[in-house]
Amino acid sequence: MQWEFIVALVIAIPVILFPAALVWYLNIGGLVQAVQKARRKTRATTEEPVKAAAEPHVAVAVAKGQPSGTRR
C-alpha cells in the first residue's frame, strides 16, 4: 500500500466512526436512564405508603379590618 492511502484511512476511519459511536453512546445512556427510572418507580410502589399527617390543614378566615393575629 502506498503511504497516501494509509494516511487517508487513518483520517477517514475516525471521521466515520465518531458519529456512530456518539449515537450509540446517547442511545445506551437513554436506556440506562429509562431502566433506572423504572426501577425507582417499582420500588416506590412496592414499599409501604407514607401515612398522612394526623392533623388536617385548617384555613381560618379573617374579616376585613381585623389584624390577623387576633381571633374573636
pLDDT tens, residue by residue, 18-43: 999 999 999 999 999 999 999 998 88
> pTM value?
0.46
Examine the pLDDT at 62 and tell me if it is beyond 90. no
**What count of Cα atoms within 13 Å lies in the side-chain half-sphere of residue 12?**
6
The grid coordinates listed for 54 are: 394526623
**Confidence grade of residue 59 (pLDDT, cut at 50, 70, 90):** low
Q: Give the integer Cα–Cα distance in Å for 40 and 31.
A: 14
- What's the pLDDT score for residue 28? 95
Give 20's DSSP letter: H
Instruction: Match 394526623 to its residue by C-alpha cell.
Output: 54
